[in-house]
Amino acid sequence: MVVDRRTYDTPHGPGRIVQRRADSPWAALVLTHSAGSGIEAHDLVALAARLPPLGINVALVELPWRTAGKRIAAAPSVLDASFRSLANHLRPRTPMFVGGRSTGARVACRTARGLGAIGVLALAFPLHPPGRSDASRVAELRGARLPTLVVQGERDAHGTPAEFPAGTNLVRIAEADHSFAVGARAGVSQQATTQAVVDAAYTWIAGSLGRGTTAHGTRL
């Protein structure tokens, strides 16, 4: 697995891309981060480490505000323009999926079609602000107009799986919160929880391309 780290200029300052390349890739996944954490979030790190050995190139895109060390994310229009600028430096020769966690999932929904992606991976999609179920962002999720998988923790204060509309392609992560963290008394370990996120992403990407296997190599 080859790891490549590069910094690129964007209209809103320099951003960074960390790529982990498979030996024989058959898909590419481009991911960006949330407003509260960077590409070091444990689920993004796990995806970047565990998918390339299975044939999926993973690129983690760090947006300029984070590269600059700022604590507060930029406006949505700036996030979108920055992500597009950085992602356009990638020239995958395989089918490309775009995604992100939380705010990054929103960015992916807004930009994926324009980037030529064939699907969106929405990790911990913030369906609404905590305690504000009336302020739904479901239109933004649907606005991707591409096949989309939502991977959502059962205890996510930004929207539990049950709050998503019927028909949403969604994988529940048992007992997990918005960060896919589970408590010490949860009936599942943190390791198993993180692996469940990886399995969900891999199974969906593989199924989308007709490969029909899980991350553990079992035929579906």
Question: pLDDT tens digits, residue range 37-57?
Answer: 999 999 999 999 999 999 999
Distances in Å between the Cα of 205 and the Cα atoms of 65, 118, 148, 156, 212 are 30, 10, 10, 23, 9
Residue 62, classed as helix, strand or coil, is strand
Do the beta carbons of residue 29 and residue 202 sit within 8 Å?
A: no
pLDDT at 217: 45
The stretches of the chain forming alpha helices (DSSP H) are 42-50, 64-67, 76-87, 103-115, 138-142, 190-208
Judge whether 63 and 86 are in contact, CB under 8 Å: yes
Q: Are 43 and 194 in contact (CB under 8 A)?
A: yes
Domains of the chain: 2-208 (3.40.50.1820)
**CA-wise closest residue to 41 among 151, 133, 142:** 151
pLDDT tens-digit readout, 53-91? 999 999 999 999 999 999 899 999 999 999 999 999 998
Q: Model confidence over 147-191: pLDDT tens digits?
A: 999 999 999 999 999 999 999 999 999 999 999 999 888 889 999
**pLDDT at site 1:** 62
Average pLDDT over residues 81-103: 96
Q: Give the pLDDT band of residue 214 (cuts 50, 70, 90).
A: low
**Distance in angstroms (rounded) separating the CA atoms of residues 19 and 4:** 5
126 in Cβ contact with 34 (< 8 Å): no
Give the chain's end-to-end CA distance (angstroms, integer): 26
Place of tokens 């939502």: 150
* CA atoms in the 13 A half-sphere facing the CB of 20: 19
Tell me the average pLDDT of the chain: 94
Report the predicted TM-score, pTM, of the whole model to 2 decimal places.
0.94
CA distance linking residue 25 with residue 92, whole number of Å: 10
Q: Name the phi and psi angles at 87, rounded to 5.
A: -65, -30
Query: 61: which residues sit within 8 A by CB, 6+ positions away?
Result: 15, 16, 17, 30, 31, 32, 33, 39, 83, 86, 87
CA 188 and chain centroid, separation? 22
Would you place residue 212 in the very low, low, confident or very high pLDDT band (cuts 50, 70, 90)?
A: low
